[in-house]
Structure 1
Amino acid sequence: MKKDEDLEEMEIDLGDSIDPEESENEEEPQTLWRAQPSLDEEENIHTSTLVEISDTKPLINSRDPRGINDCLKVGFEDVIAEPPSVRSGDRIWIWSNAFFEVSRVWIYRIVTVLLAIPVSVISGLLFAILNCFHIWMVRPCIQCVLIGTRWLQSFWSIVLHVTVVPFLTSAGKCCGGLGVHLTKE
């Protein structure tokens, strides 16, 4: 690219620049993009794995990496909304929001405790049966049909190239010179 062209410059602040004007306390600025140093192993000897597992620190960061369930991202404001002309008290709105979020989270957790493992086992069994059926029955049958009808595929390809392709090629060349101009009346 030429430097003469108008380019919009974008400045990205990573928060690690050391300007005397920005650092008033003469402390080193914290860099948020660097990994924090790990603790010594001696300090973690008495920590059990149950203490490390909590609701605030998820074991798996991305549980929906492909965005399959984006439609389920529902918040309180998506379900309940008050127009400006009709409003309840602020305390009622805050408590309603809190009860909505708590009941949504805890009912989901209770239902998943009851259903997650059985549904996972049934789904795994179903997918295993479907995979086995497809690998050992459907695909070999398709291959047998394709091997047996290879002559038909070749014959059909020849028929298309002899009859249809010349007609479509000539129609394309005839219509290729046409132009459409739209005017506003």
Structure 2
Amino acid sequence: NPKDEEKGCEEKPKKKCWWGKHKTEEEQRDDHISIGVDLVNRDEKGINEHVRFGFDDIFGEADTQHSWDCVWRLVFKVFTFTRLFVYRFCSLILGLPAAILFGILFAIVSVINVFACVPIAKLLSIPANWIAKTWSWLVHAIVDPLATALALLFSSFTIRKYGINSQPTDPCVA
């Protein structure tokens, strides 16, 4: 009865009540006005694409063997309903505690990052800058000249390879 559906909305009898109106997913996408949480595109960044499976991804009959159409439709409906029901039930049971747990963990890690890690990193960057400049000076002022002198000293040596009878062999040509 339309009158039974409109009892709660007596001021405007032509409109349905908001609780009686169920939109399909396509209608929700068409009306896509979202403030805050996006209830249509819940995985905008595609972080869970690896678990997106439909009926066609799981079940398929060979062209040579088909079950009765009513059985195939029933299998589709049972699979879809069971998957959706179990997912929603498990998300209710596991989702709320997980949201609380990860909300607490992300808050703690964020607070530690903001009030401990970043200030300590900024504090340590001051002596680290001094150490880097001192190390650079030591390498350029002491190690580089010593390495250059040793390289020049040992560059004048020639090495020859001798054969079995202590006679020089022909130079190796590559």
TM-score by length of 2: 0.55
Partner Cα distance (1:148, 1:135) in 2: 21
RMSD over aligned CA atoms reads 3.2
Which of 45, 50, 56 is equivalent to 2:24?
56
The one of the two structures with greater contact order (alpha-carbon pairs below 8 A, sep at least 6) is: 1
- Equivalent residue for 2:118? 139
Q: Tell me which protein shows more helix as a share of its residues.
A: 2
Matches within 5 A, 1:29-108: 43=12, 49-51=18-20, 54=22, 56=24, 60-108=39-87
Deviation, structure 1 residue 156:
5.7
Partner Cα distance (1:67, 1:104) in 2: 20
Gaps of 5+ in 2: 1-10, 29-37, 145-174
Deviation, structure 1 residue 103:
0.7
- CA deviations on 1:72-122 (whole Å, 9 max, x unpaired) are 211011112223344333322221111111111111111222222222111
Partner Cα distance (2:116, 2:20) in 1: 49
Partner Cα distance (2:64, 2:120) in 1: 67
Gaps of 5+ in 1: 1-41, 164-185
Partner Cα distance (1:126, 1:90) in 2: 50
Partner Cα distance (1:96, 1:116) in 2: 28
Does the residue aligned with 2:63 lie in a helix, a strand or coil?
coil
**Percent identity between the aligned chains?**
26
Partner Cα distance (1:65, 1:44) in 2: 39
Partner Cα distance (1:123, 1:130) in 2: 10
- CA deviations on 1:111-143 (whole Å, 9 max, x unpaired) are 222222222111111100111111111222211
Distance 1:94 1:140, change over 3 A: same
